[in-house]
Structure 1
Amino acid sequence: MKTPTLRRAFGVLAACCTLATAGANAQAAGADTFPSRGPIRLLVGFAAGGSSDTVARIMAPVLSRELKQNIIIDNRPGAGGNIASDALVKAAPDGYTIMLGTIGSLAVNQHLSKLSYDPIADMEPISLAVSFSNVLVVNANSKIHTFAEYVQAAKAPHSDMSFGSSGIGSSGHLAGELLKSVAGLQNQHVAYRGGAPATNDLLGGTLASIFASPTDAVQFINAGKLRPLATTGLQRLDVLPDVPTIAESGYPGFEANNWYAFTAPAHTPKAVIDALNKAIVATLKDKEVDAKLKKLGLDPAPTTPQEADRYIRAESGKWGGLIKKLNINL
């Protein structure tokens, strides 16, 4: 015969099991019907008007149509995208908060300083968004006219052929450091607090060069204010077809691509990730979105969640190794 104490214990255990089962069933039901409510919050780790924000705003109307829910772009600038990343990993893993992350926030920043989260372990990749090459540019009045001349000047002891970037650990910084490593350059990096002040100094003649994103550089190249020397991808940029790659200019295999990717908090149900992936891929394949992104020199890069995960891990390993080798830190 069960004692009253045992009966109470079994009752509590049964109640807990019932609640756990109900919770699991509710989560599964929510995943199966996602998205059943709105809005969906899209975190961007940089200020309005920047490259990643531009991509988010180009995609948002079509993504909203695909998901049949409003998309709210939530700019959380600061710390190289870390503020937005921190907000993402603390959000509920239900698909209603996602992030458009950058190479820095997803594959680089964790190698530069200790973070309170791990972008690999604490996020679920959904899809890559865009990929693009940086472009090495100098002032149109510079004495440097070709990439070969740039390399020769940058190899000189105490070279004044400095290169600027939007900050330590940015894609432009890492592209410059990779070139220094493979070409034996002696030039120095100059870190800025964003791409705009670096571009302003280049235009003003107080900075020698920049590894810039095409969204920042092409307008000034077309206006005759900046001179492009080379791009950092394996293929030439469609918007700059006459500008050679570094890989074809004496350094085969050189590649320092920039990219953005969509992620969700860890433990987001697979059904939700799949629904988001389907909508994001359809958005990136939309003719109008495709044309707008390519006009800016950005290549749409839709992937499966698994492909995105492998790519982010590979990029983290690549750039983490370079950061350790060159002892780059904040």
Structure 2
Amino acid sequence: MLGALVDAGAGEIAFPTRPVRFIVPYAPGGGADTLARSVGVPLAEIVGQTVVIDNRGGGGTILGSDIAAKAPPDGHTIIMITSTHAVVSSLYKKLPYDPIADFSPVIRVASAPNILVVHPSIGVSTVKELVALATSKPGQLVYASSGNGGGSHLAMELFRSVTHIDLIHVPHRGTGPAMIDLLSGQAKLMFGGLIGTLPHVKSGRLKTLAISSAHRSQLLPDVPTIAESGYPDFEAATWYGVAAPARTPIPVINKLNQAIRQALQDRRFSQRITSQGAAPSPNSPAEFAAFIKTEVAKWGKVVRDAGAHAD
């Protein structure tokens, strides 16, 4: 057990000494909540303490993140952060916390790709053909998104910037309405989550051109990445990770990393995330911190270039 390991050396910090609060800055039932609960079960067994999932949705993850940032930095409060954590500082003019300075990254847990899908009516089968079509019809192809500043919006804006094509953005209030617009043919293309979009691809109502992650998905092994399709700098996967409040002692951060890394190897976790179209992607605290800084800079530029904002 983790507690026994931490207590083993003289002068080391006793951790954990009580239940661990695992904040999820989303409502129950979404991808982040599912992953947090999937990690929480084996994690509780490993550390020998209860892991309490605390859903604090609201404000585009700001509410839950602010609570986590202001919690005592002793490791007994952790938070499931996602790609949104790297975007909020660019989307909102003012935040009650700093997404980098006020958190101690622990570990990246998993990443999940989006897929670039088109309505069959536009008659393209590859990224190259889509770019050629859009280039021949500047400002005419409509793409749908789940909302201004959302993941599907920013992924398409990144795609637009690397391909130099001109598209019309139609934001919606959520993924469901955006998908309806795409399925009807009113919109012609969209980045969609793998699991939610795949049934429409299998039914023939949508066509998949490429996947947004750096590597191909086991669920769609024949679908190329956008990087493979001629744009090597493109990657727009949704990632999930765990962080603690800033100034959490390094030995505690390292023990959390060790315990969560062990939890990710649990069969219950691997089965659950595979069903969500995600893949484990653990790293060290230092690697995760560097990754977050890179993501903040990357998506900050995309947000500024797109003129996106959420307030």
After TM superposition, the score normalised by the length of structure 1 is 0.83
* 2:106 is the alignment partner of 1:126: yes
> What is the RMSD computed on CA atoms of the aligned residues?
2.3
**1:98 counterpart (55, 61, 78):** 78
**2:183 counterpart (196, 203, 221):** 203
* 2:20 is the alignment partner of 1:34: no
* 2:88 is the alignment partner of 1:109: yes
Matched residue of 1:324: which SS?
A: helix
For 2:282, the equivalent position in structure 1 comes to: 302
Aligned 8 A contact 1:41 1:71 in 2 = yes
Aligned 8 A contact 1:236 1:245 in 2 = yes
What is the CA distance between 1:152 and its match in structure 2?
A: 2.9
Matched residue of 2:104: which SS?
A: strand
For 1:248, the equivalent position in structure 2 comes to: 228
Greater Rg, structure 1 or structure 2?
A: 1
* 2:255 is the alignment partner of 1:275: yes
Provide the C-alpha distance between the structure 1 equivalents of 2:301 and 2:70, rounded to a whole number of angstroms: 28
Flag the 1:197–1:87 CA change in 2: closer, same or farther, 3 A.
Answer: farther
For 2:25, the equivalent position in structure 1 comes to: 45
For 2:67, the equivalent position in structure 1 comes to: 87
What is the CA distance between 1:73 and its match in structure 2?
A: 1.9
Letter in 2 for 1:137: V
Flag the 1:89–1:31 CA change in 2: closer, same or farther, 3 A.
Answer: farther
Flag the 1:71–1:222 CA change in 2: closer, same or farther, 3 A.
Answer: farther
Q: Deviations over 1:62-106 (max 9, x none)?
A: 12211222222222222321121111112222222211111112x
What is the CA distance between 1:127 and its match in structure 2?
A: 0.3
* 2:49 is the alignment partner of 1:69: yes
Aligned 8 A contact 1:160 1:208 in 2 = no
Q: Deviations over 1:103-123 (max 9, x none)?
A: 112x11101222121010001
Provide the C-alpha distance between the structure 2 equivalents of 1:224 and 1:157, rounded to a whole number of angstroms: 25
After TM superposition, the score normalised by the length of structure 2 is 0.87
Flag the 1:153–1:80 CA change in 2: closer, same or farther, 3 A.
Answer: farther
Provide the C-alpha distance between the structure 2 equivalents of 1:299 and 1:68, rounded to a whole number of angstroms: 26
Letter in 2 for 1:268: T
Provide the C-alpha distance between the structure 2 equivalents of 1:141 and 1:47, rounded to a whole number of angstroms: 36
For 2:162, the equivalent position in structure 1 comes to: 182
Aligned 8 A contact 1:31 1:272 in 2 = no
- Corresponding residue pairs, total: 300
Matched residue of 1:125: which SS?
A: strand
Matched residue of 2:247: which SS?
A: coil
**1:314 counterpart (281, 289, 294):** 294
User: Which structure carries more helix by proportion?
Assistant: 1
What is the CA distance between 1:143 and its match in structure 2?
A: 4.0
Matched residue of 2:23: which SS?
A: strand
Provide the C-alpha distance between the structure 1 equivalents of 2:169 and 2:12, rounded to a whole number of angstroms: 47
What is the CA distance between 1:140 and its match in structure 2?
A: 5.4
* 2:153 is the alignment partner of 1:173: yes
Letter in 2 for 1:229: L
Structure 2 residues without counterparts, runs of 5 or longer: 1-9
For 1:291, the equivalent position in structure 2 comes to: 271
What is the CA distance between 1:141 and its match in structure 2?
A: 5.9
Aligned 8 A contact 1:44 1:84 in 2 = yes
Provide the C-alpha distance between the structure 2 equivalents of 1:97 and 1:30, rounded to a whole number of angstroms: 22
**Higher relative contact order, chain-length normalized (CA < 8 Å, sep 6+):** 2
Matched residue of 2:209: which SS?
A: strand
What is the CA distance between 1:214 and its match in structure 2?
A: 1.5
Aligned 8 A contact 1:120 1:313 in 2 = yes
Structure 1 residues without counterparts, runs of 5 or longer: 1-28
Provide the C-alpha distance between the structure 1 equivalents of 2:11 and 2:61, rounded to a whole number of angstroms: 30
Flag the 1:269–1:321 CA change in 2: closer, same or farther, 3 A.
Answer: same
Provide the C-alpha distance between the structure 2 equivalents of 1:269 and 1:30, rounded to a whole number of angstroms: 13
Matched residue of 2:79: which SS?
A: strand
Matched residue of 2:60: which SS?
A: helix
What is the percent sequence identity of the aligned residues?
A: 40
Provide the C-alpha distance between the structure 1 equivalents of 2:39 and 2:177, rounded to a whole number of angstroms: 27
Aligned 8 A contact 2:38 2:268 in 1 = no
Flag the 1:234–1:65 CA change in 2: closer, same or farther, 3 A.
Answer: same
Provide the C-alpha distance between the structure 2 equivalents of 1:224 and 1:67, rounded to a whole number of angstroms: 47
Letter in 1 for 2:104: E
Flag the 1:283–1:220 CA change in 2: closer, same or farther, 3 A.
Answer: farther
Provide the C-alpha distance between the structure 1 equivalents of 2:50 and 2:119, rounded to a whole number of angstroms: 43
Q: Deviations over 1:208-238 (max 9, x none)?
A: 2221121322243334443211111232111
